[in-house]
Amino acid sequence: MFSKGIFSSVKREVEIIAFDIPYPPNYGGIIDVYFKIRSFKKEGIKVNLHCFEYGRKPSHDLESLCEKVYYYKRNVSKANLFRRRPYIVVTRSSEELIKNLQKNNNPILFEGLHTTYYLDDRRLKKRQKIVRTHNIEHDYYQNLAKVEKDIFKRYYFSNEAQKLRRYERILLQAEGIAAISMHDKEYFAKKYKNVEVVSAFHPNEQVDIEEGLGEYVLYHGSLNVGENNEAALYLIEKVFNNIDVPLIIAGCRPSQELRLAAEKHPNVRLVTDLSTADIYKLVKGAQINLLPTFQATGIKLKLLSVLYTGRHCIVNGPMVKNTGLESMCIIKNEPEAMKKAVQDYFTKPFTTKDIAKRKHLLNDSKYSNDYNINQLVGLLFP
């Protein structure tokens, strides 16, 4: 562990290669990247940010946080589907990027396996290269294939998983790996050198929870992601199918299947196209935040957000496996057990004692941004 502020008096600079433009910070991995940049700035470490662009707009906010921001067009041509390397990697290559990286001798942080196209490039041979792993990617893509209903997308995810499994060996070229969870560290440490846990960066500096009772149960997530669509359907059809407790499902681009399922149940309301601020209000206002998942990969940023700002949190085992967050959650793995927990906790006020427990476990813990930026700086500047 590195003590807080130890590097702040020394002039340091880092190159970050991001898989997307990390603003606005409104989905999983991008939230991690954005608040990591803010933490670097807080520590007095300069950031030169390299982003791949494929839909998001350049950001003045990022330019105020970073020394320089470079944008590279992601090449999303379908021809790249037939390359040996994974599609998520080959579409994030740019000669302009490698030229810009050679302008200095700063350490390089590769955000996700997605950005590692140049990790083994001889032109970067003498650089300190750290890879931030957001998931065990081949497992993540294989699980996406399992829950995907569209046959072409399912084939893509399955094929990409096979490529990612082969390609992962490129991590042998990194000087270190910043794994997002203990579960992931255990996997990577068996194969690669210098693996440390650097948990997810997030917007929550302190626990901020309202005591008392809320009026609904909330499930939220990017509903266009197969895993989240499956979780939302599971809740509607197996947990809230015959109980008189209101459920709000919030997220973007829900499937037609999910829309139809919600319409059949008068106690279920589907809300879409919400801002980050709107989601935050829903989390704080809920009596229960309900977060099942069917993928035990990485760490779910929405879980951290809920624990910092929401009342009771009911999850299943895979959501908290090897996270150290188990004691803050109500863990139920079967739908009937989850249903009973919903009914029990829906009328149980969240007390000042409950809030104090969360503060004790979360503030200044290994989930705080201050702790994790010092862990990461230790990897980048050995």
pLDDT in tens, the chain (382 residues): 333 443 333 459 999 999 999 999 988 789 999 999 999 999 999 999 999 999 999 999 999 999 999 999 999 999 999 999 999 999 999 999 999 999 999 999 999 999 999 999 999 999 999 999 999 999 999 988 988 889 999 999 999 999 999 999 999 999 999 999 888 999 999 999 999 999 999 998 889 999 999 999 999 988 988 889 999 999 999 999 999 999 999 999 999 999 999 999 999 999 998 888 899 999 999 999 999 988 766 567 889 889 999 999 999 998 988 778 899 999 999 999 999 999 999 999 999 999 999 999 887 788 889 999 999 999 999 9
49 beta partners: 16, 69
Q: How far is CA 330 from the centre of its chain?
A: 21
Per-residue pLDDT reduced to its tens digit, 9-65: 345 999 999 999 999 998 878 999 999 999 999 999 999 999 999 999 999 999 999
Distant-in-sequence, close-in-space partners of 101: CB < 8 Å, separation ≥ 6: 15, 50, 108, 118, 123, 124, 127
Displacement of CA 279 from its chain's centroid (Å): 16
Residue whose C-alpha is closest to residue 226's, from 118, 160, 140, 290: 140
Q: Does domain 12-202+367-380 have CATH number 3.40.50.2000?
A: yes
Q: Return the structure tokens found at 72.
A: 């590279």
The pTM for the full model equals: 0.86
Residue 218: which of 208, 237, 232 has the closest Cα? 232
Is 217-362 in the same CATH topology as 12-202+367-380?
Answer: yes
**Token duo for residue 57:** 């707009």
DSSP 210-271: --B--S-EEEES-TTSHHHHHHHHHIIIIISSS----EEEE-SS--HHHHHHHHT-TTEEEE
The residues spanned by each domain of the chain are 12-202+367-380, 217-362
Which CATH code, of 3.40.50.1820, 3.40.50.2000, 3.40.50.1100, 3.30.390.30, is assigned to 217-362? Answer: 3.40.50.2000
Residues 234-255: tens digit of each pLDDT: 999 999 999 999 999 999 999 9
